């Protein structure tokens, strides 16, 4: 069963720059912070800071080899997030369906 | 096509109390802040504040009738979030598949 996404996961994704860095890592990884800063309109230092937050949230992993650190996306938390959001949406759909049934069964039901 | 989830959406979900309120609204809505505060271990005032943030993020809607305001979940942002997370995860899976192909095509490729 999927894990409920963590506070840190949502917080990490609540910034458009971090979402664009995550996207770039997904498309280019394994990739260094330096390589990412070349193609994004932000400094290497800022990229490294955002990568640290994404890493704390479990969304990227750092692979150290020699003097270089390359980043890759970790797929599982995004899958957990998709499952959580789908389930939350579905719970609401079920609720709507039940409400519809109740209204059909009790045509004189008022809104109070 | 689904919208990219907003910063406000992620920020609203980055709090476990807000996620539990969203869940309660999905299960019980249309529901008042007072009714929610009775079943959750938080004050009516705190519930109302969290509902305001969920509402700003587009996750719940307020239905005013007479003196009462009842809250319902809005399904679309959760569907957008599920689609976004799935796509972000899928992009990464595609990347893994391409990397696998490259490694198969170039058996002598080293990691630099």
Closest CA to B44 of B36, B52, B55: B36
Sorted by sequence, the CB contacts under 8 Å of residue A75 that are 6+ apart come out as B89, B92, B93, B96
Q: Report the pLDDT averaged over residues A36-59.
A: 95
Supply the pLDDT for residue B13.
97
Question: Global pTM?
Answer: 0.81
- Chain-chain contact of A85 with B79 (C-beta, under 8 angstroms): yes
Q: Does residue B82 sit at the A interface (CB-CB below 8 Å)? A: yes
Q: For each successive 10 residues of chain B (112 residues), what is the average pLDDT?
A: 86 96 91 95 96 96 92 92 88 71 67 48
CATH 1.10.10.10 fits B7-105, yes or no: yes
| B73–A92 C-beta distance less than 8 A | yes
Instruction: Give how far Cα B76 sits from Cα of A55, A94, A96, B4, Å.
Output: 29, 14, 13, 11
Which of A15, A85, A92 lies at the smallest CB-CB distance from B82? A85
Q: Residue A100: which pLDDT band, with cuts at 50, 70 and 90?
A: confident
B39 CB within 8 Å of a chain A CB: no
**B85 and A88 in contact by Cβ < 8 A?**
no
Comparing CA positions, the residue from B30, B74, B90, B29 lying closest to residue A85 is: B74
Identify all chain B residues contacting A75, using CB atoms and an 8 Å cutoff. 89, 92-93, 96
- Give the pLDDT band of residue A110 (cuts 50, 70, 90): low
Nearest to A73 among B7, B65, B92 (CB): B92
H-helix or E-strand containing A106?
none
Contact (Cβ atoms closer than 8 angstroms) between residue A35 and residue B28:
no
- pLDDT surpasses 90 at A3: no
Find chain A residues with C-beta within 8 A of B65's C-beta: 111-112
Per-residue model confidence (pLDDT) at position B109:
53
Q: Give the residue from A14, A61, A94, A96 with the most B CB atoms within 10 Å of its CB, the best one to mutate.
A: A14
| Domain-wise residue ranges, chain A | 7-105
């Amino acid at each position: 069963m999927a894990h409920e996404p963590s506070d840190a996961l949502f917080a990490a994704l609540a910034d458009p720059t971090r979402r664009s860095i995550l996207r770039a890592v997904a498309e280019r990884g394994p990739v260094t912070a330096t390589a990412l800063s070349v193609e994004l309109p932000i400094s290497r230092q800022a990229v490294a800071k955002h990568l640290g937050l994404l890493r704390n949230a479990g969304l990227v992993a750092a692979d150290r080899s020699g003097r270089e650190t390359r980043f890759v996306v970790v797929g599982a938390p995004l899958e957990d997030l998709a499952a959580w959001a789908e389930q939350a949406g579905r719970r609401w759909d079920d609720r709507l369906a039940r409400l519809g049934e109740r209204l059909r069964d009790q045509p004189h039901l008022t809104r109070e």
